[in-house]
Structure 1
Amino acid sequence: MSAFGSVFMPEMAISWFDGSNWSESKVVPSDSLNLHAGAHVLHYSSTCFEGLKAFRHEDGSVKIFRMDRNIARMAQSSELLALPKLDQEQAAQMITSIVARFASDVPEPPGSMYIRPTHIGTEPAIGKAAVPTLESCFYVLLSPVGDYFSGGDRALRLLIDDKNMRCPPHMGMVKSGGNYAGALQPTMKARAEFKADQVLFCPGGDVQETGAANFLLIDGDEIITKALDSTFLHGVTRDSILTLARDMGMKVSERQLSVDELLERAGKPGCEAALSGTAAVLTAVGTLIHNGKEYNVGNGGIGETTLKLRRALNDIQWGRSEDKFGWLRDI
């Protein structure tokens, strides 16, 4: 089976900003992106992206999940990176039209069509290390994906790093490739030394996020997670899970969570932890590693509440329960 996100539809939607206006969007081969070797993005990382999904329902229709929220976050990322202003209406049209073009290729649940809108700085100017690009390109890639847990659903191992941040504080809200690149080396080291799946960045003992997902602590009927600020990514899946939890009558506490409190609560019977993100929705965390010592979260396995929340979100995405929050968009 191909690795998640490694298979692409043969065509993509694309538009170029020339310094004044966005071009009319076109559909072109997915391998036909031409950039000058001096393009701003290649030297100064002027790039942001989103990840969202389209789902096939039993009646054959295809729905896109929370596209408006992803486009708004991408517009925010573009602004924070000083990229040209994104045309949100055109972006929505490009996403829906390219998904509609390949609607027949959207897999049945638990598979989906992964959508990757990307915005990059294209002005050929290697002297602009401290100056924004005036030109850019926006394109939408599609990747049909299968069941994220096809290799087996298991609880993850997280290494707690209570000294370092995933990225500079002012970049936390930006979904940019540079942030992921910065977290790669610590994650690789954690895998080699501790057999950890990811690093949970907790600078100064403040529990924040991993290199690619938001962190949630589930203690009984309460979810505890860091309150939104500029230092970490405002996950769309995170927001969806918290909305569902509140709707189920759970208490949601968005506040500072220290490493000490996390480790103290983690050992309690019935405690759970999870990572939220577009790809896996909600993935259980079974082990925390801190200062060379391992701590089980609850019984060290996959918790019932984690599964219940994941199932509730999947049921909406797959059209098996009512979309009372208005999260699904027709193509």
Structure 2
Amino acid sequence: MVDIKWEELGFSYIKTPYRFIAHWRDGAWDEGTLTEDNQLHISEGSPALHYGQQCFEGLKAYRRKDGKINLFRPDQNSQRMNRSARRLLMPMVPEELFLKGVKETVKANEEYVPPYGSGATLYIRPLLIGVGDNIGVHPATEYIFLVFCMPVGAYFKGGLTPTNFIVSEYDRAAPKGTGADKVGGNYAASLMPGKLAHERHFSDCIYLDPETHTKIEEVGSANFFGITAENQFVTPKSPSILPSITKYSLLQLAEECLGMAVVEGDCPIDELDRFVEAGACGTAAAISPIGGIQNGEDFHVFYSETEVGPVTQRLYDELIGIQFGDIEAPDGWIQVIEV
């Protein structure tokens, strides 16, 4: 095992030995291969550099108690990447190739998968970019599909500890734009609002719907959920929200395991008092409880600024238990890598 202090890991880049790379040329993908080179060699005219013709995914590998490795719903990441690719006129990455790249990357870097019980995971980043000699605003003629990985700790400092967020005056995405796709431009647009939130000592910012600025859409790069006193699990519904695999998993777990009513609908920013608990969810963050939200001059506290709410804790325990193999998963949710 490599010499890493697993419990001290943050969410930052670590070079691991191997990554998977495949090329699309002349209308077809090659079979792909593992490489030790973590530098991409592409044309200066690549549309990914000039026009943002690129998309990516994020998923994790989890070390089980028996030493095997779990992947959590990687087929859903494959499908979401292809939805993003379709929006940007890029070739689909066949699910077979996507899963091959993910699994070969994990197996080749197996010693970097954190041990069970450490609280750390192996973060996996599939990436699809348009490359080749180009200068006009049109789709690339060649593409690269890349998968690399690194061990990570908690995305937000403190792990499952409530943190505070602030409503941003900036928009994350435009109506009928690329908000529902995992493309780099959405994240580039979030850098300044995120920086402004951090300067005011908030974990990140809350984005409202770009059309009316009245409804919660996303929490930084994560999805929002709220728990009502009537035992409802509520999450925003909008065509400009990235469909989080974690969120849809929580919707199912809330309904089937906790017996909650689940609602995808509007979450007006001026109706925060309907929620007794709130949180952000996504692959990187898993679940991050929200202590409070600053909205203009008003600061609304949910369950607590220091303690995790009981429903959020139960959802977290169920999700993490499934991901690490301690709780039986719904059919098709887990793919096991034998090592």
1:107 partnered with 2:152: no
Task: List aligned pairs for 1:296-307, cutoff 5 A.
Answer: 296-301=301-306, 302-307=308-313
Query: What's the counterpart of residue 215 of structure 2?
Result: 206
- Decide whether aligned partners of structure 1 residues 164 and 134 sit closer, same or farther in structure 2, where only a CA change above 3 A counts: same
Which residue identity does 2:180 align to in structure 1?
M
Kept in 2, the 8 Å contact 1:50–1:175? The answer is yes
Query: What's the counterpart of residue 34 of structure 1?
Result: 41
1:316 partnered with 2:326: no
Question: How far, CA to CA, are the matches of 1:99 and 1:8 in structure 2?
Answer: 13
CA deviations 1:95-122 (Å, max 9, x no partner) are: 1122122223311232221110000010
Query: What's the counterpart of residue 242 of structure 2?
Result: 233
Kept in 1, the 8 Å contact 2:172–2:207? The answer is yes
- Decide whether aligned partners of structure 1 residues 152 and 224 sit closer, same or farther in structure 2, where only a CA change above 3 A counts: closer
Question: How far, CA to CA, are the matches of 2:171 and 2:324 in structure 1?
Answer: 36
Kept in 2, the 8 Å contact 1:166–1:210? The answer is no
Question: How far, CA to CA, are the matches of 2:332 and 2:224 in structure 1?
Answer: 25
Range moving further from structure 2, 96-105 or 43-52:
96-105
Query: What's the counterpart of residue 281 of structure 1?
Result: 286
Identity of aligned residues (%): 32
**Structure 1 residue corresponding to 2:162, chosen from 150, 155, 165:** 155
Question: How far, CA to CA, are the matches of 1:245 and 1:231 in structure 2?
Answer: 24
**Structure 2 residue corresponding to 1:72, chosen from 72, 79, 96:** 79
Kept in 2, the 8 Å contact 1:113–1:142? The answer is yes
Which residue identity does 2:173 align to in structure 1?
C
SS in 2 for 1:55: strand
Question: How far, CA to CA, are the matches of 1:202 and 1:245 in structure 2?
Answer: 25
Query: What's the counterpart of residue 126 of structure 2?
Result: 117
CA deviations 1:59-105 (Å, max 9, x no partner) are: 11112111000010001111111112222211111111221222233
Range moving further from structure 2, 218-227 or 281-290:
218-227
SS in 2 for 1:208: strand
CA deviations 1:37-73 (Å, max 9, x no partner) are: 1111111111111110111111111121110000100
- Decide whether aligned partners of structure 1 residues 104 and 189 sit closer, same or farther in structure 2, where only a CA change above 3 A counts: closer
**Structure 2 residue corresponding to 1:197, chosen from 203, 216, 220:** 203
Which residue identity does 2:189 align to in structure 1?
G
Question: How far, CA to CA, are the matches of 1:133 and 1:177 in structure 2?
Answer: 16
Kept in 1, the 8 Å contact 2:9–2:154? The answer is no
Query: What's the counterpart of residue 254 of structure 1?
Result: 264
Equivalenced residue count is 321
Question: How far, CA to CA, are the matches of 1:14 and 1:265 in structure 2?
Answer: 48
Query: What's the counterpart of residue 93 of structure 1?
Result: 100
Q: Which runs of 5+ in 1 are unaligned?
A: none
Deviation of the 1:284 alpha carbon: 0.5
Question: How far, CA to CA, are the matches of 1:326 and 1:98 in structure 2?
Answer: 21
Question: How far, CA to CA, are the matches of 2:157 and 2:216 in structure 1?
Answer: 30
Kept in 2, the 8 Å contact 1:30–1:141? The answer is no
Query: What's the counterpart of residue 328 of structure 1?
Result: 334
* TM-score computed with the length of structure 1 as normaliser: 0.92
- Decide whether aligned partners of structure 1 residues 283 and 2 sit closer, same or farther in structure 2, where only a CA change above 3 A counts: closer
- Decide whether aligned partners of structure 1 residues 327 and 38 sit closer, same or farther in structure 2, where only a CA change above 3 A counts: same
Deviation of the 1:149 alpha carbon: 6.8
Deviation of the 1:2 alpha carbon: 5.1
Deviation of the 1:308 alpha carbon: 1.1
Kept in 1, the 8 Å contact 2:47–2:131? The answer is yes
SS in 2 for 1:171: coil
Q: Which runs of 5+ in 2 are unaligned?
A: 1-7
